[in-house]
Amino acid sequence: MNSLWLAVIGMIVFAIGYRFYSKWVAEKIYRLDPNYVTPAHQYSDGVDFVPTKKMILWGHHFTSVAGAAPIVGPAIAVYWGWLPAFLWVTLGTVFAAGVHDFGTLVLSVRNKGQSVGTITNKLIGKRAKIMFLFIILILVLMVNAVFAWVIANLFVSFPASVLSVFLQIPLAIWIGYAVYKKKKGMLLPSLVALAVMYGAAILASRVPALQIDLVKYFGGADNTVMFGLSGVSMAFLVWIIVLMVYVYIASTLPVWKLLQPRDYINSHQLVVGLFILYAGLVFLQPEVTAPAMNAAATDVSWFPLLFITIACGAISGFHGLVSSGTSSKQLEKETDARFVGYLGAVGEGILALIAIIAVITVFATKADFTAAYSSFAAASSGGLGNFINGAAQLATGIWIPADIARTIVSIIVVSFAATTLDTSVRLMRYIIAEIGSEYNVQALTKTHVATTVAVVSSAALVLLPKGPNGFGSGGYLLWPLFGTSNQLLAGVSLLLVSIWLKRQGRNYLVTFIPMVFVFFMTLWAMIQQVVFQWSGYGGGELNMLLFGIGGLILIFVFWIIIEAFSAFSRNNPPPLSKEM
């Protein structure tokens, strides 16, 4: 089968979804008001609340929610065959992810830019809010720890990518200064920055002296450096320290100084990267060698695990955190929410689609695919590498050498992951401050105290426990909880938007139906994991850490759902403010 057909069908579905469905939702359901004074104007402080043009904000929003997840999830999920992954990415993006990201953005804008956790207090109650904040805190902590691990490992594995990634930081600061202090345009300098980064990537791919190869500096992979750490482990440790210092600074700076311009550059990286991959696909037109349904995938069932494995490629609770955490504080006009929120989700879908195509066409034969995807564990450990190789193969379709293509793809993956990491640390700072305010611990409401708690706890989770993937993979001890926790978060966010719409007297089915679907799949998957896999019951091996935390999250979610449906069915709920 020619893989180009998958791209064409997927693009048509995305185009119809944005052009018609999101327009209908914006006008008839969310009823966006161009004259509404957004929190960015109402509470403008030059740090977190900054009115921002929609193209720039889309760049921040999209690259923050993208990370590596819309690549890794689909690259693993093709283990069950390409057809289920393709259907969920296309239809899930249009009918679930789009209204979720769009809806949480609008809901937050109508509530002073507050997070979905805080809004829970208004729509459901105080107990639900505390439990929801706990789930969110666990989720962002996992994201911080695992994304730091991913970036550090990519730096170790692809040293040619390091120079370009670090060049982006001073370039972004320069662009932020030029735009906000000198009132210059952002497009041209951003494209110049991108050209500098890719020029550096090409040079570094061919000139070893420009590769920041810490393993080599430490005497090689097998050399013991200090504390019993090998050259690889020492390089990894140094990168983790550098990353933690970076995210501390990045998440406390005013958004216009680094976050916005860097994300704008990254959004161009996405456009260029997608152009390279889709253009390569058009010229190369590789055959799909993976099966539509993989009959050999019998150790883990795709139903319901597929909908947990593909998170950011379709719907993801983390998107709602970004929508209601940072994006809502920068929205210049309420009518921009459709462009930022819904089109951001479509961008994720387009990225996830090419990730699927890259992986299912990289293998020469079906037997090679089956050998590489021999088990779900093999798919999980090799998914990202398969994507990078598959993407590099697509890039050769427009005559880009494979080694340079691999470097560029790794730069894109690292840049997105770094964007997600420092946005996630910033979100964790907000949540810690909210908890400090809730329990009257004033110190936690301070920016640097809350950020220190976020960074130190994230670094501790990375480095202190012994994780399953070697030194520094402590975050992976909790990672099996990420998929279900993330999707439960999406379900609760859709529930909040549904309650808000019902109390406004509007049609709430656009968010209610995907909410029922997401809850059904996710609760089913989580009960399977907590009760039949981690509890030791039914032949599974007891895992007290996952069973304890997973069980607590499950109880909290059931509690939130019960309270939420009570609030949902209430005949005379407390009146909402006129602004809501």
pLDDT digits (tens, 9 = 90+) for 100-133: 999 999 999 999 998 888 899 889 988 888 888 8
**Which one-letter amino acid corresponds to residue 333?**
K
> Cα separation of 266 and 168, whole Å?
9
CB 485 within 8 Å of CB 137: no
Query: Average pLDDT for residues 236-263, to the nearest whole number?
Result: 89
Query: What is the pLDDT, as a whole number, of residue 67?
Result: 67
pLDDT digits (tens, 9 = 90+) for 293-320: 999 998 888 989 999 999 888 899 989 9
CB 257 within 8 Å of CB 328: no
CB 338 within 8 Å of CB 22: yes
With cut-offs at 50, 70 and 90, classify the pLDDT of residue 572. Answer: low
The structure tokens listed for 390 are 């598959």
Residue 580 pLDDT exceeds 70: no
State the pTM of this model.
0.89
Using a 10 angstrom Cβ sphere, with 0-12 exposed, 13-18 middle and 19 or more buried, the burial of residue 163 is buried
Using a 10 angstrom Cβ sphere, with 0-12 exposed, 13-18 middle and 19 or more buried, the burial of residue 303 is exposed
pLDDT digits (tens, 9 = 90+) for 156-200: 988 888 888 889 889 988 888 888 787 777 778 888 888 898 888
- Sign of the dihedral through C-alpha 239, 242, 244, 249: negative
- At residue 396, φ and ψ (nearest 5 deg) are -65, -15
Identify the residue with better confidence: 75 or 469: 75
Which residues are within 8 A (CB) of 163 and not within 5 positions of it... i.e. 6 or more apart? 200, 201, 204, 210, 211, 212
Query: Average pLDDT for residues 537-551, to the nearest whole number?
Result: 86
The structure tokens listed for 223 are 């050399």
* Range from 56-60, 164-168, 570-574 carrying the lowest mean pLDDT: 570-574
> Cα separation of 220 and 236, whole Å?
13
pLDDT digits (tens, 9 = 90+) for 22-50: 999 999 999 999 999 999 999 999 888 99
Q: In Å, what is the CA distance from 557 to each residue of 221, 334, 510?
A: 45, 31, 22
Identify the residue with better confidence: 512 or 542: 512
Average pLDDT, the chain: 89
CB 498 within 8 Å of CB 96: no
Angle at 113 between CA 107 and CA 115, to 5 degrees: 75
Query: Average pLDDT for residues 409-438, to the nearest whole number?
Result: 82
